[in-house]
Structure 1
Amino acid sequence: MVDERSPEQPENAARILFVCYANHCRSPMMELLLRDALDSSGGAAGLLVSSAGTHAQPGMPAHPYVVRALAEHGVDATGWGATRLDPALVDASDLVLTAAAEQREEVVALSPEAAGRTFTLLDFSAWLQAAPATGPSEPTVPALLGRATAGRERHPDHRERDLPDPMGRSLRHFRRCRRRVEAALVPFVGR
């Protein structure tokens, strides 16, 4: 769901787009958990966070287990609705993070010029964690891309790639997915 601009968000805010298959499980978790982390850290003003699915049914609510797993973390997913990925969403995004390598390939197929700013969440997070410590930094897209590039240079062969899809599995798997997403988002807002 594309985030509407609020009065606190500048017109030139950077956009982060999370992508998974149906925008029903993983990408809503990524979107809502990053929004919550940014709100908690006070770093949300310069970023607009949204998500979409390569095969989403527009308006479909988050999976009930996503709603429950997020509620256990204090994040409200009620009222959230899915968005189908299209080239305009990709082109409007400054950073695209996907749940799996397959979705990264689909994003780049939709918009080849997005290749240099589209990564899997787990790879991007690992590169952020591998970056040399430089002290606190603002969670801006240029800062994140710079840190990820530095981390990738230190560990170029890292390929964790895919966040396992919990769809069709028990609540325990959705909770595990939430924990993986939370851990992957830590370097976005501070170590």
Structure 2
Amino acid sequence: MQNILFVCLGNICRSPMAEFIMRDLLQQQGLSARVQVDSAGTSGWHDGEDMHGGTAEILDEMHINSSGFRSSKVKASDFEHFDFLVAMDHDNLRQLEALFGVHPDKMFVITDLVPELGYHGVPDPWYTHDFNETRTLLQAACQQLLHKL
């Protein structure tokens, strides 16, 4: 069993979208029993809240069920529990490294998996309001992560 944690700032936009896109890809490939996926935020600002409506709308458009989601903050035990802690941007990665040290084989920015797209992190749709851009990047990066597994 492998465990993946997607991490963004508030755990309501990018990381939940990555979590559910990856779950859907794993289900399509028949790998759901071999890989567990979750998400968390570095801030804890939205602990216990549902995902952002923009993220939920994108997942609904993709016919991905995201019911039951609740935002949570990264915990000290996450480093031991998860095989990969996948940050949405370099700020999130720096915060993970401040907690757990530098471990490039275990903790990295998701867009590093798709350098050909020319992004150095997934822009936060909380600020950009472009949830379609987030979906496009995360679909490509999650597909590459699936190959990496």
By the TM > 0.5 criterion, same fold?
yes
CA shift at 1:183, angstroms? Answer: 1.3
Residues 41 and 189 in structure 1, CA contact (< 8 A), matched pair in contact too: no
User: Paired residue for 2:122?
Assistant: 163
Gapped regions of structure 1 (runs ≥ 5): 1-12, 130-157
Residues 14 and 46 in structure 1, CA contact (< 8 A), matched pair in contact too: yes
Identity %: 27
Q: 1:37 aligns with which of 7, 25, 28?
A: 25
Give me the whole-angstrom Cα distance separating, in 1, the residues matched to 2:93 and 2:75.
Answer: 13
User: Paired residue for 1:174?
Assistant: 131
Larger radius of gyration: 1
Letter paired with 2:8: C
User: Paired residue for 1:142?
Assistant: none
Give me the whole-angstrom Cα distance separating, in 1, the residues matched to 2:75 and 2:133.
Answer: 29
Q: 1:22 to 1:42 in 2, by over 3 A?
A: same
Residues 19 and 97 in structure 1, CA contact (< 8 A), matched pair in contact too: yes
User: Paired residue for 1:187?
Assistant: 144
Instruction: Find runs of 4+ consecutive structure 1 residues off by over 6 angstroms.
Output: none
TM-score, scaled relative to structure 2: 0.88
Gapped regions of structure 2 (runs ≥ 5): none
CA shift at 1:47, angstroms? Answer: 0.9
User: Paired residue for 1:80?
Assistant: 69
Superposition CA RMSD, Å: 2.0
Residues 5 and 82 in structure 2, CA contact (< 8 A), matched pair in contact too: yes
CA shift at 1:96, angstroms? Answer: 1.0
CA shift at 1:178, angstroms? Answer: 1.0
Q: Answer 1 or 2: higher relative contact order, Cα 8 Å, separation at least 6.
A: 2
Q: How many residues align?
A: 146
Letter paired with 1:65: G
CA shift at 1:14, angstroms? Answer: 1.3
Residues 18 and 52 in structure 1, CA contact (< 8 A), matched pair in contact too: yes
